[in-house]
Amino acid sequence: MLEHLWFPHDISTFGPSVDWLFEVIFWITVLTWIAVTVTMIVFLIRYRTRPGRKAEYIEGDTRLEVIWTTVTAVIMVVLALMSRSTWADIKEHGPPGDVFYAVAAKQFNWEITYPGPDGKLGTKDDVTVENDFHVPVNKVVRIDLTSKDVIHSFFVPSMRLKQDAVPGRTIKVWFDATEIGTYEIPCAELCGFGHSGMKGSLTVESEADYEKFLKDKYAAGQQ
């Protein structure tokens, strides 16, 4: 049980920088919380009412106001600037892709389109399967993500990756999985009565296994 009280194990290249930012914020917030709570408890005990006690008439302190306003503002702005580049790497630009797929969400499945033997999406030999997403390990995967009906959200907890799939738009998503294994792709945006249970399976496999998988799929597709 205890090992489940933190993040799931990460298998993406950008996951560690997301987790690192989480941990930076974790320590900032935990230390702030301890400071505020301890101060509050000390005040609550020390200044509790007793017979003959009178409160001190203090209206405020401009110097203190300036200090805590400035310190908070600086921490917050620095945090925003620190987060900027990670965000840009994941969502704005990324490395050039090695393998390409189209993923279309629909109530309540993920449709995965493989480019077929010609290696190009949008041609006749494309093969589409439901929920069974295979990718090679250590390759930059690029996905054209869209939806056929309502908004869904493509979520791979093991990669910290989440992107809404929006009808009428094609959104570019990339990742680079570093460990062989099978992972779940739940839908993270409420999409109707079948939302719970809408999940795909992501199989990260070796180059050889992946080639074999493709060959079988393409053979099946041509029949």
Partner 1 sequence: MSSTAAVAIRGVHAEHHELGFWRTYVFSTDHKMIGRQFLFLGLFMMAIGGMMAMFMRWELAFPETAVPGFHWVPEPFMYDGAIPPNTYNAMFTMHATIMIFFVIMPILVGCFGNFLIPLMLGARDMAFPKLNMLSFWVGFVAGIIMIASFFVPGGAAASGWTSYVPLSAVPVYTGVDWGQNLWCISLIVLGASSLMGAINYITTTINMRTRGMTFFRMPLVIWSLFITAILLLLALPVLTTALALLLFDRMAGTHFFLPPGGGEPLLWQHLFWFFGHPEVYIMILPAMGITSDVVATFSRKPIFGYRAMAYAICAIAFLSWIVWGHHMFQSGMDPALGTSFMLTTMVIAVPSAIKTFNWLGTLYKGDIHYTAAMLNALAFISMFVIGGLSGIYMACTPVDMYIHDTYFIVAHIHYVLFGGSLFGVFAAVTYWYPKMFGRMMNETLGKIHFWITFVAFNCTFFPMHILGMGGHMRRIYNPMQYDFLKPLQPLQIFISISAFVLGSAQFLFLANIIWSYLRGKKADDNPWRANTLEWSAPSPPPHGNWPGAVPAVYRGPYEYSSPESREDYLPQWELPEHAQAAAD
Stretch 18-37 residues interacting with partner 1 (CB under 8 A): 18, 21-22, 25, 28-29, 32-33, 36-37
Q: Which of residues 143-182 bind partner 1 (CB under 8 A)?
A: 149-151, 153, 155, 157-158, 160-164, 166-169, 171
Query: Is-contact 202 184, C-beta < 8 A?
Result: yes
Instruction: Select from 195, 203, 213, 221 the one that contacts partner 1 (CB under 8 A).
Output: 195
Give the CA distances from residue 203 to residues 29, 122, 170, 171, in Å, rounded to whole numbers and listed in that order.
Answer: 36, 23, 23, 22
User: Distance between CA atoms of 102 and 115, rounded to whole angstroms?
Assistant: 8
Taking the least distance from each CB to partner 1, the nearer of 26 and 215 is 26
Whole-angstrom Cα distance, residue 140 to residue 128? Answer: 20
Choose between 80 and 220: whose C-beta lies nearer to partner 1: 80
The three-class DSSP label of residue 197 is: coil
Q: How far apart are CB 77 and partner 1 at their closest, in Å?
A: 6
Residue showing tokens 């490395």 = 95
Residues 127 to 146: which contact partner 1 by CB under 8 A? Answer: none
**Do 216 and 180 form a contact (C-beta atoms < 8 A)?**
no
147 beta partners: 105, 167
Peptide bond into 26 cis (omega under 30): no
CB of 104 to partner 1, least distance (A): 13
Q: Does 212 bind partner 1 (CB under 8 A)?
A: no
Nearer to partner 1, 95 or 194 (CB): 194
Map the footprint of partner 1 across residues 50-69, applying CB under 8 A. 53-61, 64-65, 68-69
Least distance CB 208 / partner 1 (angstroms): 26
Among candidate residues 113, 118, 119, the one with its CA nearest the CA of residue 101: 113
Of residues 85 and 222, the one with the C-beta less far from partner 1:
85
| Positions 96 through 115 that interact with partner 1 (CB under 8 A) | 107
Stretch that binds partner 1, among 109-117, 127-135, 187-195, 207-215 (CB under 8 A): 187-195
Q: Give CA 213 to chain center in angstroms.
A: 27
Query: Quick one: which segment of 74-82, 115-123, 127-135, 209-217 binds partner 1 (CB under 8 A)?
Result: 74-82
Torsion-angle region of 9 (φ positive above 0: left; ψ -120 to 50: alpha; else: beta): beta
Write down the least CB distance from residue 156 to partner 1, Å: 9
